[in-house]
Amino acid sequence: MISKEIFEETLLQFLAPIRPLLDDPGVSDIMINGPNQIYYEKKGNLFLADSKFESVEHLTAALRNAAQYVGKHIDEERPILEGRLPDGSRIEAVLPPAAPDGPCVSIRRFFKETLTVQRLIGFGAMTEEVAQSLKAFVASKLNILIAGGTGSGKTSMLNALSSFIPDGERVVIIEDSRELQLQRDHVCQLEARPADPKGRGEVKIRDLFKATLRLRPDRIVVGEIRGGEALDLIQAMTSGHGGCLSTLHATYPRDTISRLETMAMMSDLGMPLQALRIQLASAVNLICQVSRLQDGSRKITHISEVLGYDVNSSTYQMQDIFVREYTGFDPSGKIESTIGPTGIMPRCIEQLHEHGMDLPASVYEAAQRRR
């Protein structure tokens, strides 16, 4: 049996052309378009690397080694790999013939240092008043979805918000591929698993959901919603498991609800569409929308409350509690923006008070000005 340390070092030797990028803590993404083209993202900007892989065969060998490291297979019959590297980075790869110009690879890096709420405030991703509001929302066990595009910082935001979960609560995490690093002690981490080459041993996220409900969770955290498990999450949210947190891909808060509805319909849905919409609107309390702006910075753009579903107009009722406003560019080309309260008081304020929490004074002042 090869030791884990030797296996990891062997894999890194296969990845020698990108080893300096993997060792650079400032690199957030590495993108390989065939053996001769390697791009990387640093501080929100893309750069072309000087290094290359010797050939398609060398790159393919590296990917097969990476697949073996996570107990998966990648070849012409199974050309897609989803896994992680020894340092926890997420790797997604596609081989020919699905990628006709050569293997296509994306590696998402994760901060080795914990990305705390205070650091996000320092980066300008949120303000102190937004952080205080989010603390009240999380501690009061509201169900929150963190939505945004690819590379917008959804996972980092979820990790940071987990610090607001009160001590003593048991958190069960469900993920397709392990990425979350929650800032809590009492955590039970579950990970889905694909079938082996003979079709055996598959564990789906929906299977883990069923097990989770009997693991006595105080909170359920889903790394990312991508399919029919959306229905399981909605039902968990409405069946006494408050304080659920999850991420999904969507550009705006209203798109987030529509996408969640679409994914719930991917399951073996046994209820009328209108009933699903009513349950969904009851399940989700807040949407925290994050975005990667044109200058590469990652910010919270909206915090929106879901109020319910209007049967007569067939629309979801929503209102923005915080919204980011843009004022232009500074001399260095960075986007200037601020996020502040809209003056609309959230209907969930009573639930906050029941948990001994409240919103910052600036939210009340904005509401007074609006009136």
Q: Please, is 57 exposed, middle or buried when counting C-beta atoms within 10 Å of its C-beta (0-12, 13-18, 19+)?
A: exposed
Residues 291-334: tens digit of each pLDDT: 999 888 899 999 999 999 999 999 999 999 999 999 999 888 88
- Among 110, 113, 191, which residue's Cα sits nearest to residue 155? 110
CB-based burial, 155-185: b 16+ in 10 Å, e otherwise: bbbbbbbbebbeeeeebbbbbbbbbbbbbbe
Alpha carbon distance 69, 322 (integer Å): 44
pLDDT at 112: 64
Q: Please, is 233 exposed, middle or buried when counting C-beta atoms within 10 Å of its C-beta (0-12, 13-18, 19+)?
A: buried
With tokens 């991420």, the residue in question is 247
Residues 271-293: tens digit of each pLDDT: 888 999 999 999 999 999 999 99
Residues 231-270: tens digit of each pLDDT: 888 988 887 788 999 999 999 999 999 999 999 998 877 7
Alpha carbon distance 291, 299 (integer Å): 6
Q: Is the separation of the CB atoms in 302 and 253 below 8 Å?
A: yes
Residues 127-176: tens digit of each pLDDT: 999 999 999 999 999 999 999 998 888 989 999 999 999 988 999 999 88
Residue 157: CA count within 13 A, CB half-sphere: 33
- Among 80, 90, 92, 101, which residue's Cα sits nearest to residue 34? 101
pLDDT at 308: 95
pLDDT at 101: 86
Q: Which helix (H) or strand (E) holds 289?
A: strand 286-292
CB-based burial, 110-119: b 16+ in 10 Å, e otherwise: beeeebebee
Alpha carbon distance 321, 300 (integer Å): 12
Q: Is the separation of the CB atoms in 322 and 339 below 8 Å?
A: yes
How far apart, in Å, are the Cα atoms of 294 and each of 37, 44, 48, 147?
Answer: 24, 9, 19, 18
Label residue 1 by pLDDT band (50, 70, 90): very low
With tokens 């915090």, the residue in question is 303
Q: Torsion angle of alpha carbons 89, 77, 97, 248, nearest 10°?
A: -40
Q: Where are the alpha helices (DSSP H) in the chain?
A: 4-14, 19-23, 56-69, 117-123, 128-139, 154-161, 205-212, 229-237, 253-264, 273-283, 349-354, 361-370
Alpha carbon distance 63, 95 (integer Å): 9
Enter the pTM of the model.
Answer: 0.85
Average pLDDT for the chain: 90
pLDDT at 243: 93
